[in-house]
Structure 1
Amino acid sequence: MVGKKSGKALLRDEGLERTDNNMDLSSWPQIAAINQKNYYTDYLKRDDQLLAFRLQNEEARNRMAKNAKDRDRALALGKPGELEPDTEMDGDTALEDVNEEAAEALGSKVIIVHIGSQNLRIGLASDALPKTVPMVIARRSAKSESEEEGVEPKPKRLKLDNDTAVEPEKMFGPEFSSLYTTMSTELKTHMRQNKRRTLPNSKEMVINYNRRTPPETISEHNDPMRVDWTEIADRPPEYITGQEALRIADNSRPRYKLFWPIRYGWCNEKDYESKRLLFLDISLILEDAIKTQLGLTSKKDWPQYSCVFVIPDLYEKSYITQILEMLMSEFGFSRACFIQESLAGTFGAGFTLACIVDIGAQKTSICCVEEGMCIENSRINLKYGGADVTETFVKMMLYDHFPYAEINLWRRYDFLLAEELKKNFCTMNESSVSVQVFDFHLRVSGRDTRKYAFKAYDEVLLAPMGYFQPAIFDNSYKLERRRKLLPRSYDIYDGQPNDPVSAAQSEILSSISPAPVNSQFNGESQLNTHDVQSTPSRSQQLSALSRVQDLDPTPRSSIAGSPAPEAFGTPHARGSGTPIPGAPAVAASQTPRTPTVEERDDILPIFPLDSAILKSVVHAARSDDRKMRDFLGGIMVLGGGSLVSGFHAFLEERLQALRPGYTKEIMIGTPPRDLDPQVVAWKGASVFGKLNGTNDSWIGQLEYDRLGSRLLAYKCMWSH
């Protein structure tokens, strides 16, 4: 029997005895554990711990030191006249460089870029007005956009089984015919109430004249306004951008196909197969515009320039990050910054408090701005604009037997013709509504010019009336392939979407989205449902008083029928919004539910313009009656879609009909100094780009190389 071993013997026999020299296993210092009950850290709690702020303060100190040296040098040389008067400035404010300002004009090294769905406006901050370039690129292709298989003419016409066109009154379907007839009847009734003369057979006069009036042929040498089409060289380029792309003949050799990278304020995911090609076209259009319009032909000079980029109020994070990478990495600008459209509009007009309504070609944005900041909950983005008015005007003319029945907006010369017809003939003055004879010239490459004469009656007013009855627009294709190339951006920490949300936009989407069939709420649950919709942002707390203020159940007489009631918990009429295609109609007794984040991309924001403006103002005022009156008195309409004659007075009358208690306060303003409404946002961005001493939004190359798009959280003037 083996005896029990002692501890020492066990260590010795088993090889467990320690034989080292008592040195630590590692040379790294051993740090004691933190007392979890009482500890404190100031990590990322001071501005000087952020690289963006450190670089900014360092640049300010360097400029202050350089300015002091220049001042001492001027005093030593006995040239006190070169000195600027002393200005009291704090340590965070950078002083202007005296020699740099003397050498070049202010803003001559700042490029301002404003991208729209149809036009690009670009120029230097020192320019009085920007250069306007169509936001389009033509690429070599086997067929043009109008010759591709499966592409139907635009506007789309119905055909019989044997591929024969139907009568003009039936070619757009019964829904369009019913809406058009209803709008025409209501307009005639309103004109009679205003003691305006209307002929009972006006439509018959228009149709009969258009049926029997043939076109007149004019030879090319007798046409003083003939078009200079783009000539294709012996070695045709791979792509052509801008106005030259629109002037390429449809039957050119080789064929070219047009691509529009931006559609309806979104990236055009429908016509592109890859995200890389989409942003490549955007960069090519910008690059050609900088070289041809600004004269900066050498990219080696671009690092000397800065760039101010105008973005939508309700932007997409993925779009902003891609544009920032393009400006800093591909173009190599020394620095860049972003500004929202509505804020740029107030800068351009010189307003401190206003409700900006920007009607573009395919997008309408509404936002209230106060003291240099866009009010988050007031932002609204609607997917219609001047291009929808153009298409609707062509449909109404074809409905009344337009003599040029073969018009197809996919063809380039027809697209330019339709834009010209809308610009010349559309109006919102009731005094101009009468049976009138108009004419236009059809110019096609390789053919003689044809002069058409036609009559029009109320089409010139009912087409822009679509802003207030958007169901007349063709909205069936605007959501095709949405989110197929650019997925939604999510926060990497909490998984929440990065794209901004707005209480006003959420309310519009809720009123449009179909409610579940089995949903039955009482009054209390309805209130709670709408409180949930305002939770995405901490500033979206809607008070019950603002909802009560938004109630206006009393029907009011208006120019084109009574709009839907402004009740917060009441669904709007189906005609005022476009639900998900194929979705069933919502009964009037059902309450619209709040769509989820994923469902918002499946709902097209189509809403009457006058009602949308009031919703934006109500969310901006937040039950403050004084602010409500200030915003209603500071409505400013911008964009090319507002250039219709008489639009401002018409919109003012509509708003006064919806809010009779604020009749004296409601006022629609125009840009000061007779400035073109299309360039006000660009002009405001140019003013913003000249604020060198007080603008902290610039992103430099050094900080972008280190932090990338994360800098947007520190550099943007809005909550990111």
Structure 2
Amino acid sequence: MDYLKTVVPSQLLAERGSNLVVINPGSANVRIGLAQQDTPFNIPHCIARYTNQLPKLYVKDQMLNIQVTTAQHMDREKAYDIIASLLKIPFLDEEVANSSFPRKTGRVDGYNTQSGRKDVAFTWANVYEQETNSSLASVMHIPGAERPTIESHIGEASEKHESTDAQEPTTSGHKYRGFICGEEALRIPPTEPYCLHRPIRRGHLNISQHYPMQQVLEDLHTIWDWILVKKLHIPQSERSMYAAILVLPETFDDREIKEMISIVLRDLCFSSAVVHQEGLAAVFGNGLSMACIVNIGAQVTSVTCIEDGVAIPNTEKNLPFGGEDISRCLLWTQRHHQTWPQIRTDILTKPIDLLMLNRLRESYCEIKEGEVDAVAVVHSYEEGVPAGSHKTRLTALNVPPMGLFYPMLLVPEVYSPPPRSWFHDYEDMLEDTWHIEYPRRPDMPDGLFPGINVGLSMWDSYPVFPSRPNKEEKVGLAEAITSSILSTGRIDLKRKLFCSIQLIGGVALTPGLTPVVEERVLHAIPSNEAIDTVEVLQSRTNPTFVSWKGGAILGILDFGRDAWIHREDWIRNGIHVGSGRKYKDSYYLQAQAMCYINS
């Protein structure tokens, strides 16, 4: 302990972080890196697999579609006009008078700009093997691969994960790659024989009738293994020397957490693993002890309150929208105002279009009063031709991010629901797969597991919930933050939390978001609450990576050492519900009293 008090943090990271791999999975991206790194690899969380099935699905859960009902369309237009009134811009159907710029200037072939990455077109991925050695071809196709040397494990990994479908040679003698991960998977031409898989959707495993659990878990394993091998250069044969820190979003259910631990320990062969909650990790990532964490991700926005390094019960709120919804709203807004070029932009059949929209949103969207227009280059992607460049003047760029506060503006996709028994049958699922051997306490409500208060006197003052609450809300961001903080009950704590709001996630980088959050949360506080100050704290690190960084710090400091799970114990015994070793970083994990038993 004396050493920990005197050591320089960077020295501790260097000493202990070289064999700790931090994995922070999200719906759209996964962040993986060694704890000693400043930033992780941030890679699209998807995989495209070769298929010879006809008709071919573009994506594995192709039954999804974007259906906008008449009522939703009216609600969206109403939300737009409310936002327009607040921002002092023309309403949806009003023409912008006296514009000094034409709405669009058409295609500009050979357009060259010095404005940087935001105007650079994406390129179609190469889907063919180019060497006899398939593993060499895989390395050669990975953009930014740092080490060209080929180790035997790459061939083994490729052979293990390659699609069992026959790979038909082309006229040039090349063969299709069995699978393609990350951004390359999103840049595959839609005419190629590949099906895109996204194993996590809206904060849950993307299980459906068309995407079974076994395939989802295999895809997660393949993506993570590919990153470990090709980016971190950690072959499976060396992983017994590494431990894994899983920094998981609050949206995941017990079964999903268990399956991810199994992937890390059983399939990826790490020596040990520990689970930390994303919101809690964010607090440590910014060096705080308490905060209201507002995590605005690509597909889900989560709010949770942390006090003294522990998630406060019943403060968690999940909103089913994020950055990708803002990007889709950007496209809808431009099409309505007829500023979008006459090109075929389709994010369902051409995921490369979503990459383009995300980049436009990150580059041009901001929140401020008045008309916010920008001259931008929009790209069209069609099979067999280079990307087309279309210079156009985009308008109302401050409206889409306001959808965070008026979610009616963000019409969600319609998906086939996951099998109800898989997610909602908690007790049966646990009894079947986790081998419960402990009797239920007679005084415990049916929805709770035994041992919730064993050794957890700190929670005696909190109410006992009959079941895990339904945390998904149909409200705007300001209402969710206010509701989360007010649910803590104590006036002194509420005042501190309203002055300690922390915005994390990629959308937190949106210019102008912070003052709007402060203003709207302040107005959302009921008048009978003696609170008159709201403050959003400036993040000390990149909001996109703050939870990942916090997970690295938690792992290095060895908080809750008993929470680490060793591979042999997990494979031999699984985990049990009852007394014993417990996760110490999440109220809900504590409430489940998850532990594993030493032999």
Decide which of 613, 619, 622 is 2:487's aligned counterpart.
619
The DSSP-based 3-state class of the residue aligned with 2:425 is coil
Residue equivalent to 1:41: none
CA offsets, 1:460-486, max 9 Å, x none? Answer: 222111111112222361562353655
The DSSP-based 3-state class of the residue aligned with 1:454 is strand
The DSSP-based 3-state class of the residue aligned with 1:122 is strand
- Does residue 1:125 correspond to 2:35, yes or no? yes
Alpha-carbon distance between aligned partners in 1 of 2:60 and 2:566, rounded to the nearest angstrom: 45
CA contact (8 A) 2:495 2:531 kept: no
CA contact (8 A) 1:245 1:258 kept: yes
Tell me the CA shift for residue 198 of structure 1. 10
Taking CA–CA contacts closer than 8 Å with sequence separation of 6 or more, which of the two structures ends up with the larger relative contact order? Answer: 2
Structure 2 gaps of 5+ residues are 130-173, 432-438, 451-458, 593-599
Letter in 2 for 1:671: S
**1:451-466 correspondence runs (5 A):** 451-458=389-396, 460-466=397-403
Alpha-carbon distance between aligned partners in 2 of 1:226 and 1:117, rounded to the nearest angstrom: 24
CA offsets, 1:693-720, max 9 Å, x none? Answer: 7633211234334531228962301422
Q: Please, which moves more after superposition, 380-389 or 489-498?
A: 489-498
Residue equivalent to 2:239: 302
Letter in 2 for 1:617: I
Q: Please, which moves more after superposition, 659-668 or 233-242?
A: 659-668
CA contact (8 A) 1:140 1:257 kept: yes
The DSSP-based 3-state class of the residue aligned with 2:27 is coil
Decide which of 667, 673, 681 is 2:535's aligned counterpart.
667
Go from structure 1 to structure 2 and tell me whether the alpha carbon gap of 1:268 and 1:187 turns closer, same or farther (over 3 Å shift). Answer: closer
Go from structure 1 to structure 2 and tell me whether the alpha carbon gap of 1:125 and 1:104 turns closer, same or farther (over 3 Å shift). Answer: closer
Alpha-carbon distance between aligned partners in 2 of 1:424 and 1:276, rounded to the nearest angstrom: 38
Decide which of 529, 533, 555 is 1:689's aligned counterpart.
555
Decide which of 675, 679, 684 is 2:545's aligned counterpart.
679
CA contact (8 A) 2:375 2:394 kept: yes
Residue equivalent to 2:358: 419
Alpha-carbon distance between aligned partners in 2 of 1:444 and 1:646, rounded to the nearest angstrom: 35
Tell me the CA shift for residue 117 of structure 1. 0.1
Alpha-carbon distance between aligned partners in 1 of 2:80 and 2:560, rounded to the nearest angstrom: 54
Tell me the CA shift for residue 418 of structure 1. 1.3
The DSSP-based 3-state class of the residue aligned with 1:107 is helix
The DSSP-based 3-state class of the residue aligned with 2:420 is coil
Structure 1 gaps of 5+ residues are 1-84, 90-95, 157-171, 501-536, 543-593
Residue equivalent to 2:566: 700
CA contact (8 A) 2:79 2:408 kept: no
**1:13-32 correspondence runs (5 A):** none
CA contact (8 A) 1:274 1:485 kept: no
Alpha-carbon distance between aligned partners in 2 of 1:638 and 1:467, rounded to the nearest angstrom: 14
CA offsets, 1:196-215, max 9 Å, x none? Answer: 999995447789954x7532
Q: Identity rate of aligned residues, in percent?
A: 22
Go from structure 1 to structure 2 and tell me whether the alpha carbon gap of 1:239 and 1:686 turns closer, same or farther (over 3 Å shift). Answer: same
Go from structure 1 to structure 2 and tell me whether the alpha carbon gap of 1:367 and 1:207 turns closer, same or farther (over 3 Å shift). Answer: farther
The DSSP-based 3-state class of the residue aligned with 2:482 is helix
Residue equivalent to 1:714: 581
The DSSP-based 3-state class of the residue aligned with 1:139 is strand
Alpha-carbon distance between aligned partners in 2 of 1:392 and 1:484, rounded to the nearest angstrom: 33
CA contact (8 A) 1:214 1:403 kept: yes
Letter in 2 for 1:121: R
Go from structure 1 to structure 2 and tell me whether the alpha carbon gap of 1:321 and 1:392 turns closer, same or farther (over 3 Å shift). Answer: same
Tell me the CA shift for residue 446 of structure 1. 2.5
Go from structure 1 to structure 2 and tell me whether the alpha carbon gap of 1:133 and 1:147 turns closer, same or farther (over 3 Å shift). Answer: closer
Alpha-carbon distance between aligned partners in 2 of 1:125 and 1:149, rounded to the nearest angstrom: 34
Tell me the CA shift for residue 499 of structure 1. 9.5
CA offsets, 1:255-279, max 9 Å, x none? Answer: 1111100000011013744211110
- Does residue 1:241 correspond to 2:133, yes or no? no
The DSSP-based 3-state class of the residue aligned with 1:408 is coil
CA offsets, 1:522-558, max 9 Å, x none? Answer: xxxxxxxxxxxxxxx976539xxxxxxxxxxxxxxxx
Alpha-carbon distance between aligned partners in 2 of 1:693 and 1:379, rounded to the nearest angstrom: 23
The DSSP-based 3-state class of the residue aligned with 2:562 is coil
CA offsets, 1:11-38, max 9 Å, x none? Answer: xxxxxxxxxxxxxxxxxxxxxxxxxxxx
CA contact (8 A) 2:298 2:322 kept: yes
CA offsets, 1:221-269, max 9 Å, x none? Answer: x9994544322122323211112212222223xx111110000001101
Decide which of 97, 101, 112 is 2:22's aligned counterpart.
112
Residue equivalent to 2:404: 467
- Does residue 1:353 correspond to 2:294, yes or no? no
Residue equivalent to 2:78: 182
Alpha-carbon distance between aligned partners in 2 of 1:180 and 1:206, rounded to the nearest angstrom: 25
TM value normalised by structure 1: 0.63
Tell me the CA shift for residue 416 of structure 1. 1.3
- Does residue 1:277 correspond to 2:215, yes or no? yes
Decide which of 369, 374, 378 is 1:430's aligned counterpart.
369
Tell me the CA shift for residue 635 of structure 1. 0.5
Q: Please, which moves more after superposition, 473-482 or 334-343?
A: 473-482
Alpha-carbon distance between aligned partners in 1 of 2:204 and 2:61, rounded to the nearest angstrom: 26
Query: Which structure has the greater CA radius of gyration?
Result: 1
CA contact (8 A) 1:318 1:486 kept: yes
CA contact (8 A) 2:506 2:544 kept: yes
Alpha-carbon distance between aligned partners in 1 of 2:74 and 2:324, rounded to the nearest angstrom: 22
Letter in 2 for 1:396: T
